[in-house]
Every structure is written in C-alpha cells, then in structure tokens.
Amino acid sequence: MVSRRDTLKSLLLTGMVVGAPNCLRSLHAAEPATQALRVPALETGRLVFGERIFDLRLQSGVTRFYQDVETASWGINGSYLGPTLRVRNGEQVRIHVHNSLDEDSILHWHGMNVPARSDGGPHQHIAPGATWSPQFRVRQPAASCWYHAHTMHKSGPQVYRGLAGMLIVDDEHSDTLGLPTEYGIDDIPLVIQDRIFDRDGQFVYPERMQDHMVGVRGNTLLINGTLNPSFRASRPLTRLRILNGANARNFTLALSNGASFWQVATDCGFMEQPLELTQLVLTPGERAEILVDTSGSEAFKLVNIPVPEPDIPYYGLFTDLLRAMDRQPFDILEIHPSGIAVTGMPALPDKLATIEWLPESAATAVRSIRLQMGNGPGQGGGLGGGPHARREYGGWGGGIHKINGREMDPAYIEATIIAGTTEIWEIINETPMIHPFHIHKVHFQILDRNGEPPLPSERGFKDTVNVPALGSVRIIAHFSGPGDPLMPYMFHCHILEHEDHGMMGQFMLI
Ligand code: C2O
Ligand code: CU
Ligand code: CU
C-alpha cells in the first residue's frame, strides 16, 4: 500500500537534485513553495556613556523552517541565527554574550580588527550560564562582517545549529555614497547556508569520516534561515550583503535571467568602483555586497550554478566525493522586482573608495603556510600514484588536517609578529580540494594566485581567500597593534570541519 507520505516522498525524490554527498533530503510533506525571506532583526544596542552595548544570548529553541514542523535549533536572541549588529567606525563597543546553552561556546567577530582578548576563539569559552563581555573600539571602514561560534573542536556543529549572524560596520564615507541603506527594504543581508534535514524535519549533522574530510555539505538551502525564500523589492535598486555562511560549500552566484549585477564590496569594505559581473564565487566565510537591478517587473532568481567537474587526479576513496562537490544547482532567492520603471542603467557611484595598495617592498617577512590533509608517509595507503601522489603533496587520506605539518595545538605559536609590520604570506594548498583560508584581525590584499593576478571581484580588502586545489595564493597584510603577548590570533581553513579537525594555527602579535 502506498501512503500519501510515500507518494510525496517519491515526488520529492524525483525533483531532488543529486550530487551532494549526503542525500537525506527532507521527506516531510510540508515543504513550503516559497515564503517571504526572513530578515534578521537589526540590533543597534544601547548607548551608555558613549559606549554602544549589546546583549546577546546563546540559546536553544525551535524554528519552523517547514510548515507545522518544529526543528530543534540554536540561535542568538532567537531560535536560529542572530540579529544583525550595527556599529560605526570610531565607536567603543561592548558586547555581553550570555550562554544559556548546556555546553561551552564562544563567539568570534569575523572580519573585525579587535584586540586578541575580545576576538573570541578556541582559547576562550563561555561556560553554560556564564557571560563574556568583550570590548573594542571599531577601527575599520564600512563593511559587512559577521560573527559565529568558534569553540575548540565544535565550530562546525555549533554554527550548523544556528550560532551565526551578520555585523555591519558603517562610517562617514559610506553615508555619502548614495547606495541603498534602508535595512530590510533595499539593504538586505543574505546568509546562505546548506543543511540536511531528516524525515522528521530535524537537522542532521553527519558524523561520517568522509563528510568531515571534505566538510559537511547539505542538500537544502536556508537563506537567513528561510527555506525557499522569496523577496519582494520595493525600490529599483537593491543591495544584497551576501555571506557564504555554509560550513563547507562553495557557491557560484548568478541571476537566472542572465542579467548583470554590480559588486561594490569585498569581505572588509568597499572596492574602488562598482564591478559589473554575471557570476561571483564565494567560498565559506567570504562576503560580497552586490547591487541588483530590481526596477523591472519580471521575477527572477539569485541562483547557485554548479561548477564543472574538477579535473582532479585519482585520490582513492575521496575521488567521487571531490568530483561531486559543489556540483548541485540551487535556487537561492526568488526576487520580485519593484515594477518601478527606470530608463537606462541604475545610477551607481563611479568611485566607492580609495584603496592604498601595499607594495611587496613594504613586507619585512615572508611566510609559507602549507595546508595539508592526511598523515604523511606510511598513512592513507591504497591511493593512486599519478602526478600528485600523496607522498609528494604531504599526504591525503589519513584523516588529519594540518598546517605546516602540525594539527592545531593551542600551545604552539606559528608566528610572532611585531605590531606595525607588514608581511607576505604564501598559502600553499597541498591537497586536491579548495580551502578558504582566513586570518583573524587583519584585512589583507591578494597579490596573486598561482602566479596570476587576483580576480577583479577580489580587488579589495579581504579576510578570507579561496586557495585552489594544489595551488597557492600570496597575500600581503599590515599587522597593526595593539599587540598582546598572552593571547594569540587564529588563522585557519574556513571549512569548519577542517578548522575543528586541526587545519588551524596561531600567531602572536606583540
Ligand atoms: Cu570566521 Cu576563525 O573564523
Ligand atoms: Cu575571523
Ligand atoms: Cu579546508
């Protein structure tokens, strides 16, 4: 006998796109066709004696991603994700983070140039019932940053359950650009995440070794925690602050009608001028602000387009997983334009920012950062030879993620950097998959990737960079003070399972 549920199940299965390693697509009957995009609450805190104070609470709860299904989830001041925090360059900020969960956690302010003690990372934790109150002065230009759990060995599962949010920095210059700035109206954050739901509509965080080797990828997208979202524009031009908030998946963004959009900001702030694009790749942790023409009347979609099968040599057990990675197309957001007719191109500022490009000659040190998977000679046997045999490339298959031959060790400092100096880091990917490499505190510039100039979409300040399989990227960064000889900063792969399993290191700024 075929039940109604089974029919729905097979209907959903035939409509399902294959390619994700973990195809446990939710089979619950109540998947909504489309629903209004949720926009996280905007939180500006309270001003007390010139200090902007925020109160955040890490909490568990239930969220209705599916109609009539309560999914157990975590959030910050809510049941899933957190509010968008808004601060201004020059302001003194204090954030009280209270942990109402029943396990340790910590929040990190990704993209923020803050003192090491306020940065939030694996050396710090907030015990259940405790409150942590980092403070800092905002010392950086306008940007779309974010915050997320950064607990030792647990960033992956904690972010997956919902501990993340956006953090917007404004400054005087951004006020004068004439860009869309009405939060929730024409200035919209988009947190893109992929998840796996079980048949009962509950999150599944896979624990299989192979999921952790390549990073946890889901087959269902949540955008600001909305399943199948749609957005109704009311202005002819809409600014999207896009965060790849996935644990591991890379997204290649495009508009379904083939139209152009304009990128105005990279991770850490405005670009020199708007960049017209039809495609944009964001790896986990990266952000971009784009302007989308919403003047017409025909609905279109922001979509993820699948990348072609990568040409990778044979890596045994993981070959199929690597080939399937990021090949799943997704609709990200249905957009209903405003219907407001404008003639010609939208009016965009010709100049957004002045960027001082750091010359290589400014660097007083050059460091090599080697990203590695596997356990070196003698481990992970049974893999193919070929041009990238594992011995030559530092290993593949041992299940251990490393930087410069070492798993994250809280007692080991990879680099001690004098505040006020500039360095070049060469990040060398010895593995057959992309790693998004992130450095805390600093905003860097990309010098080159595999010897070629960075993409136009990367010409600006960055804190996370796509390091291609078996390739390398050179970045240059100015390490401003203040230093702290007792608390290190992290650098790591932003595939959260890689970070959790050891592809992380530390520098001390003194
Ligand atoms: Cu967004 Cu150390 O991470
Ligand atoms: Cu960070
Ligand atoms: Cu990685």
Asked whether residue 193 falls in the same domain as residue 310, the answer is yes
Average pLDDT, stretch 10-21? 33
Show the ligand 1 pocket: residues with CB < 6 angstroms: 108, 110, 148, 150, 285, 438, 440, 490, 492, 494
Asked whether residue 122 falls in the same domain as residue 229, the answer is no
Report the separation in Å between the CA atom of 101 and the middle of ligand 2, taken as the mean of its atom positions: 23
Q: Which ligand is nearest to the CA of 147?
A: 1
Report the separation in Å between the CA atom of 342 and the middle of ligand 2, taken as the mean of its atom positions: 40
| pLDDT greater than 90 at residue 56 | yes
Asked whether residue 326 falls in the same domain as residue 289, the answer is yes
Q: Which ligand is nearest to the CA of 155?
A: 1
Report pLDDT digits (tens) over 399-458. 589 999 999 999 999 999 999 999 999 999 999 899 999 999 999 999 999 999 999 999
Q: Compute CA distances 56 → 60, 152, 334, 460, whole Å.
A: 13, 20, 31, 31
Dihedral (C-alpha) 202, 207, 208, 214: value to the nearest 10 degrees?
A: 100
Average pLDDT, stretch 206-233? 93
Report the separation in Å between the CA atom of 168 and the middle of ligand 2, taken as the mean of its atom positions: 15
pLDDT, residue 416, reads 98
Q: Which ligand is nearest to the CA of 325?
A: 3
Domain contains 355: no
Report the separation in Å between the CA atom of 366 and the middle of ligand 1, taken as the mean of its atom positions: 23
Q: Which ligand is nearest to the CA of 490?
A: 1
pTM as predicted:
0.91
pLDDT, residue 66, reads 95
Q: Residue whose CA is closest, atom 1 of ligand 1? A: 110
Report the separation in Å between the CA atom of 110 and the middle of ligand 1, taken as the mean of its atom positions: 5
Closest CA to 226 of 386, 73, 66: 66
Report pLDDT digits (tens) over 353-371. 999 999 999 999 999 999 9
Domain contains 192: yes
The 3-state DSSP class for residue 435 equals: strand
Domain contains 56: yes
Asked whether residue 329 falls in the same domain as residue 367, the answer is no
Q: What is the CATH number of the domain that holds 281?
A: 2.60.40.420
Asked whether residue 24 falls in the same domain as residue 122, the answer is no
Asked whether residue 192 falls in the same domain as residue 332, the answer is yes
Asked whether residue 45 falls in the same domain as residue 134, the answer is yes
Asked whether residue 170 falls in the same domain as residue 206, the answer is no
Report the separation in Å between the CA atom of 286 and the middle of ligand 3, taken as the mean of its atom positions: 14
Q: Compute CA distances 416 → 91, 112, 118, 508, whole Å.
A: 29, 20, 19, 5
Out of 146, 175, 204, pick the residue that ends a domain: 175
Question: Which residues form the domain of 44?
Answer: 35-175
At residue 443's C-alpha, the angle toward residues 437 and 445, to 5°, is 75
Domain contains 381: yes
Q: How many domains in the chain?
A: 3
Average pLDDT, stretch 12-24? 35
- Identify residues whose C-beta is under 5 A from ligand 3, the ion: 435, 493, 495, 498
Average pLDDT, stretch 462-466? 98
Q: Residue whose CA is closest, atom 3 of ligand 1? A: 110
Residue 235 contacts residue 180 (beta carbons within 8 Å)? yes
Asked whether residue 307 falls in the same domain as residue 414, the answer is no
| pLDDT greater than 50 at residue 126 | yes
> Which atom of ligand 1 is closest in space to residue 148's alpha carbon?
1
